[in-house]
Structure 1
Amino acid sequence: MVTIPTTVTSSPEGFQPAFNRVQQEGDFDDAFTCIATITGKTLADIRKLAIDKFRHPAHGPYWVYAEMITSLLAHYGLVATVYKEAETVADLPDLALAMVDYDPETEIGRHTVFHRAKASHAPKTVIEYMIDTAYWVDTAQQVRTDFTGFQPAWYIGVHAMSKLAASGK
């Protein structure tokens, strides 16, 4: 089961995100790369799992639906919520796939990883950041703490599954 980090390594110069960024290889694998980032897997691992176990098409056209996101995360012991609307970053849970660059006319956006955690060197300090997996974003914007002009419109919350009782009751 994947554990969700509650702290990030902080330093006076900045911080290190709790997750290693997995970069998109194409224009449509943003949800897969976000799942790979959260679970510590490769994009190839996530794509293979989606195809082999969850009947995702091996070749396009395709769209990664909420049900696929939920299934893939559940495979790794994580629970995903339904899409929920967000007006500000404050609306997001501590870990989420946040949809940015959303166009309400086409109802299309792209996913990023949002994480809110305590700083390890200053436990009363909370750091909020997004990991943008898009291959076309500047290096300086791949992990961002400034969300000016980059507000999520929708999100899928992610949290760890509760352990089942040993008796199964």
Structure 2
Amino acid sequence: MNIPPRSPASHPFDFEPTFHRVAQTNQWNSSIACIASVANKSIDEVRLVAAKQSKRPANGRWSVTGKLIPELFDHYDWWAASRYRTANAVNDLPDLALILLSKKPDHFALFHRQTFQDGKLPVCYLINPADVPVDQQYVLDVDAVMPCQYLSICLMSEYMKDFW
């Protein structure tokens, strides 16, 4: 299994988050960093797949288009909504989503609602792949980004079970 090297976790949680932060490497690849977090791949690997699928230079200055995001998730056996939806409150969000924080260039963050087996209440957080201070890389105050546009994400097998 191709597992990217990880630096020591620096998150504010008293639990281990399901998804670990992958930092974006330039201002155009926050969505690629979020996809790398979900797929547990390196940003370089996801960037090369994106370049191949979009027929763009591997090291170019380009953003992943809205159409390419679901194709990249599909490549890693994940499903992403094919259109943006709007959430006015945290409860409107699915358990896993790619949230559009700003445009020009597109800046995405990964939203996750982590549930626990021991009866603890779920915890919602954002993983911000941008070059920000350590204390802003994992954000617990999800309400601060509401309302927002998002793409829902789930495993392809979870998505397809509704069709069988």
- Whether TM exceeds 0.5 here: the answer is yes
Structure 1 residues 69 and 152: CA distance shift in structure 2, 3 A: farther
The reply on whether 1:93 has 2:90 as its aligned counterpart is no
Change (3 A) 1:28 1:140: same
Say what the alpha-carbon RMSD is for the aligned residues.
2.4
1:130 — aligned with what?
A: 126
More helix by share: 2
After the TM superposition, list the runs of 4 or more consecutive aligned residues in structure 1 that deviate by more than 6 angstroms. none
The count of corresponding residues between Structure 1 and Structure 2 is 148
Paired residues of 1:99 and 1:152 also in contact (CA < 8 A): no
Segments of 5+ residues of structure 1 without an aligned counterpart are: 1-12
1:112-127 matches, within 5 Å, as 112-120=109-117, 122-127=118-123
Post-superposition Cα deviations, 1:12-55, rounded to whole Å, max 9, x if no partner, equal: x7222111110011111100000001100001000111122442
Residue 153 (structure 1) shift:
1.5
For each residue in 1:128-169, what CA deviation from the matched residue of structure 2 results, as whole angstroms up to 9, or x when unmatched? Answer: 11100101x22111111113533352101001113879xxx9
Match in the other structure for 2:8: none
CA-CA distance at 1:117 after TM superposition = 1.8
In structure 1, C-alpha distance between the alignment counterparts of 2:155 and 2:141, rounded to whole Å: 27
Cα distance, 1:58 vs structure 2? 2.9
TM-score, L = length of structure 2: 0.79
How high is the sequence identity, in percent, across the aligned residues?
A: 31
Q: Deviations over 1:37-88 (max 9, x none)?
A: 1100001000111122442343444221121111110011111102111212
Q: Distance in 1 between matches of 2:90 and 2:140?
A: 11
Q: Distance in 2 between matches of 1:116 and 1:22?
A: 18
Among 143, 147, 152, the alignment partner of 2:138 is 143
> Structure 2: which amino acid aligns with 1:67?
K
Instruction: Check whether the contact 1:112–1:131 (CA below 8 A) recurs between aligned residues.
Output: yes
- Tell me the distance in 1 between the aligned counterparts of 2:33 and 2:60: 17
Partner SS for 2:145: coil
* 2:155 aligned with 1:154: no
The offset of 1:91, in angstroms, is 1.4
Aligned counterparts of 2:59 and 2:77: Cα–Cα separation in 1: 27
> Could you say which structure has the higher strand fraction?
1
